[in-house]
Amino acid sequence: MKKVSALHNLNLEVEEGEIFGYVGPNGAGKTTTLKILTGLIYPTSGNAWILGRDIRDVAIKKDIGFLPEGPYFYDYLTAKEFLYFYGQLFGMRKREIEKKVGELLDLVELRHVKDIQLRRFSKGMLQRIGIAQALINDPKLLLLDEPMSGLDPIGRAKIKEIILQLKETGKTILFSSHILSDVEMLCDRVGILTQGRLIDVGSLDTLLGSGIKSIEIVTSHIAKDTLREIETVAEKVTLRDEKLVIVVNGEEDKDRVLGIINRNNGRLISLTPGRKTLEEYLVEKVNREVAL
Amino acid sequence: MKIRAIMINTFREAIRDKVLYSLLFFALLMIGGSILLGRLTIGENIKIIKDMGLASISIFGMLIAIFVGIGLVYKEIDKKTIYTVIAKPVHRYQFLLGKYLGLILTLLVEVAIMSFGLLLLVLSYEGHAELSILKAILLIFFELMTITAVAILFSSFSTPILSGLFTLAVYIVGHLSRDLLAFGAKSENAMIKYSTAFIYYSLPNLDNFNIKGKIVHQALVSWEYLSFAMLYGVLYISITLLLSMVIFQKRDFR
């Protein structure tokens, strides 16, 4: 068997109370990182600390919640038994567990199915009960591996809602994902991992640039002459539903186009600034890294 | 507390599995079937019933021990259910011990049900409950605990099929190991002498637990002998489990 080094010199810092998105292509080492942090595999060299403590200390896990990728759980247990079991693994008292299980079933909206075996749960429900088990100990740090993968839009929306709710309660959340629109919507900061190396870390604004990439202007009632004038400035002009869609680069061009429209009594319908998406950024970055 | 939680969870998994009930059903069927065989022999039918009953408990117990035992750890890794457990403040040895004890609890319940069936049968034939049978069952149970520990040891580093074959081999050789030692002692060849001695001392001597024949023929089995056999079992199980824990501690769950 060939030994593959999955991670190299990874130095990842997550700040307290933030949602950190851990992104990168398949096989980049995202899951490996989380498995090392939770003690499922051992690093060949190096150390890892969480909340200032060495991960080899089992007691550190009292402050961590972990949801592995893909829902694989004891499917012969009912939702309530399932959460109860994990409560016991933290040495919690019976009454304490019962209270917490009730709260969590409400949070993930599964109280109505608490006495049903997990084998009868849908994927979305399993993912939610998975988040609930990760929260049984009221952890400071939550590690979620692909919490939204394989879910339908409604399931994803629910998970997002739960994650935002958790952030409000002051939890630090690190989640890996390749659904980048979700990461963009939820995360304060993002780390990009490729081929086992962390190639970029920062807030979305710093990574994607607060600068606007392009602006889309939608207008109507434009005469032919005016259109010709606009075309000299704009990047792209198209007709959509009898409206004119104009794409310009930068503020200056935007002002010039708006001036032309005004002067010729055109009607402005909408103005949308577009910035580079995380997806575009990631593809660009990873391709550059691979090319090096 | 944590070990207990894992034990109960393992027990729960077993009792919610239909395979176990069919095994138990067949065991009870075989114990009951001994009546028919007993009818075929003249005068000795109670011996046949006891003999077959005890053999059924032993064989079906062994089947459960091996088949559940080899999958015990493997299934958790294969189905990735172990991920969430190891990510909690649980030491790996606690996990392994919990799994082991869960299966022992399952075996205890199974053996208790089968024993109850056998005792009931004997009672209906002889008119009084024969408690010396319990001595034989006690040692059968220790044998099952030993086999389970061996199954766990193999499954802590190997696939279920290989673990099953290894454990079955240990079971068979374990019953022959005293003969092997006697054979080796007579041999002139040093190689044979040492290798048979090695097998004898490293594999469990399962004949220590076999007093079925004596009990059926109403020979006396002393408590001293029982204590020796049980102590031997506890020692062998402890060493085997310790070894499994050392191996399990080093594993990566990919």
Give the DSSP letter string of B194-253.
HHHHHHHHHS--GGGG--HHHHHTT----HHHHHHHHHHHHHHHHHHHHHHHHHHHH---
CATH of the domain at A262: 3.30.70.980
Q: Judging by DSSP bridges, how do beta strands A172-177 and A19-23 pair with one another?
A: parallel
Q: What residues of chain A lie within 8 A of the CB of B18, using their CB?
A: none
Q: Which domain, by its residues, includes A235?
A: 214-274
- In angstroms, the CA B200 to CA B203 distance is 6
CA angle A176, A182, A188 (to 5 degrees): 75
Among the three residues A150, A174, A203, which one is the final residue of a domain in this structure? A203
Q: What residues of chain B lie within 8 A of the CB of A58, using their CB?
A: 89-91
B12's tokens: 């729960």
Q: Could you say which of A41, A130, A134 has the minimum Cβ distance to residue B252?
A: A41
- In angstroms, the CA A11 to CA B141 distance is 53
Do A127 and A85 lie in one domain? The reply is yes
Q: Residues A210-223: what's their mean pLDDT?
A: 77
Among the three residues A203, A224, A239, which one is the final residue of a domain in this structure? A203
* Edge-to-edge strand ranges of the sheet holding A236-240: A236-240, A243-248, A214-220, A267-274
**Nearest chain B CA: its distance from A196 CA (Å):** 16
Residue in chain A lying closest to B252 (CA): A41
Per the CB < 8 Å rule, is B13 touching A74?
yes
Q: Are A242 and A190 in contact (CB under 8 A)?
A: no
Question: Does A64 reach chain B within 8 Å, measured CB to CB?
Answer: yes
Per the CB < 8 Å rule, is A66 touching B84?
yes
Of B210, B146, B205, the C-alpha closest to B178 is B205
CA-to-CA dists, residue A183 to A33, A151, A238, B64, B95, angstroms: 18, 15, 31, 48, 35
Indicate which of B86, B88, B248 best probes the interface with A, i.e. most A CBs within 10 Å of its own CB: B88
Per the CB < 8 Å rule, is B87 touching A61?
yes
Does a structural domain hold residue A289?
no
Does A2 have pLDDT greater than 50? Answer: no
Q: Residues A13-41: what's their mean pLDDT?
A: 87
- In angstroms, the CA B69 to CA B147 distance is 9
> CA end-to-end span of chain B, whole Å?
28
| pLDDT at site A1 | 40
* Contact residues for B73 (Cβ-Cβ < 8 A; gap 6+): B96, B99, B152, B155, B156, B248
Q: Residues A263-270: what's their mean pLDDT?
A: 86
- In angstroms, the CA A127 to CA A175 distance is 14
Q: Could you say which of B16, B91, B254 has the minimum Cβ distance to residue A41?
A: B254
| pLDDT at site B162 | 92
Q: Could you say which of B1, B81, B88 has the minimum Cβ distance to residue A73?
A: B81
Return residues 16-75 of B near A (CB < 8 Å).
16-17
Question: Does B89 reach chain A within 8 Å, measured CB to CB?
Answer: yes
Q: Work out the burial of residue B8: count CB atoms within 10 Å of its CB; fewer than 13 is exposed, 13-18 middle, 19 or more buried.
A: middle
Do A161 and A186 lie in one domain? The reply is yes
| Global ipTM | 0.85
Residue in chain B lying closest to A60 (CA): B89
Question: Does A72 reach chain B within 8 Å, measured CB to CB?
Answer: yes
- In angstroms, the CA B186 to CA B215 distance is 31
Pairwise pLDDT comparison (B228 vs A224), residue with the higher score: B228
Count of H helices and E strands in chain A?
10, 12
Question: Does B87 reach chain A within 8 Å, measured CB to CB?
Answer: yes
Does a structural domain hold residue A10?
no
**H or E element in which residue A247 lies:** strand A243-248
Per the CB < 8 Å rule, is A89 touching B90?
yes
A224's tokens: 């032919």
Q: What residues of chain A lie within 8 A of the CB of B17, using their CB?
A: 76
Q: Could you say which of B83, B89, B252 has the minimum Cβ distance to residue A59?
A: B89
Per the CB < 8 Å rule, is B252 touching A40?
yes
**Nearest chain A CA: its distance from B86 CA (Å):** 7
Does a structural domain hold residue A113?
yes
Does a structural domain hold residue A48?
yes
Q: Work out the burial of residue B33: count CB atoms within 10 Å of its CB; fewer than 13 is exposed, 13-18 middle, 19 or more buried.
A: middle
Does a structural domain hold residue A11?
no
Q: Could you say which of B79, B80, B87 has the minimum Cβ distance to residue A39?
A: B87
Do A241 and A189 lie in one domain? The reply is no
How many beta-carbon pairs under 8 angstroms link A with B? 79
Rounded to the nearest 10°, the torsion over CA B142, B144, B149, B151 is: 160
**Nearest chain A CA: its distance from B109 CA (Å):** 19
Do A74 and A183 lie in one domain? The reply is yes
pLDDT tens-digit readout, B13-30? 988 888 788 888 888 888
Calculate what percentage of chain A has a pLDDT beyond 70: 96
Bridge partners (DSSP) of residue A142 are A65, A173
Q: Are B115 and B24 in contact (CB under 8 A)?
A: no
Do A198 and A160 lie in one domain? The reply is yes
- In angstroms, the CA B67 to CA B168 distance is 10
Q: What residues of chain A lie within 8 A of the CB of B91, using their CB?
A: 58
Does a structural domain hold residue A121?
yes
Q: Residues A260-270: what's their mean pLDDT?
A: 86
CATH of the domain at A69: 3.40.50.300
| pLDDT at site B176 | 85
Could you tell me the pLDDT band of residue A6, with boundaries at 50, 70 and 90?
Answer: low
- In angstroms, the CA B10 to CA B46 distance is 37
Q: What is the DSSP letter of B172?
A: H
- In angstroms, the CA A238 to CA A98 distance is 61
Q: Could you say which of A68, A77, A88 has the minimum Cβ distance to residue B84?
A: A68
B68: Cα separation from own chain's centroid: 11
Do A171 and A257 lie in one domain? The reply is no
Do A178 and A220 lie in one domain? The reply is no
Do A197 and A220 lie in one domain? The reply is no
Per the CB < 8 Å rule, is B81 touching A74?
yes
- The total domain count for chain A is 2
Pairwise pLDDT comparison (A103 vs A195), residue with the higher score: A103
Residues of chain B with pLDDT under 70: 42-43
SS3 B45: helix
pLDDT tens-digit readout, A115-156? 999 999 998 899 999 999 999 999 999 999 999 888 888 888
- In angstroms, the CA A282 to CA A276 distance is 10
Of A207, A182, A187, A135, the C-alpha closest to A19 is A187
A201's tokens: 């870390």
- In angstroms, the CA A71 to CA A150 distance is 10
Do A218 and A199 lie in one domain? The reply is no
Signed CA dihedral, B170, B176, B182, B184: sign only: negative
Indicate which of A32, A89, A92, A129 best probes the interface with B, i.e. most B CBs within 10 Å of its own CB: A89
Q: What residues of chain A lie within 8 A of the CB of B95, using their CB?
A: none
Do A192 and A233 lie in one domain? The reply is no
**Nearest chain A CA: its distance from B94 CA (Å):** 10
Does a structural domain hold residue A2?
no
Do A94 and A179 lie in one domain? The reply is yes
Does a structural domain hold residue A59?
yes
Q: Are B99 and B73 in contact (CB under 8 A)?
A: yes
Q: Are A235 and A248 in contact (CB under 8 A)?
A: yes
Do A238 and A131 lie in one domain? The reply is no
- In angstroms, the CA A38 to CA B83 distance is 9
Query: Among the listed ranges A217-221, A235-239, A247-251, A288-292, which one has the minimum average pLDDT value?
Result: A288-292
Among the three residues A158, A176, A203, which one is the final residue of a domain in this structure? A203
**H or E element in which residue A52 lies:** none
Per the CB < 8 Å rule, is B83 touching A73?
no
Q: Are A58 and B90 in contact (CB under 8 A)?
A: yes
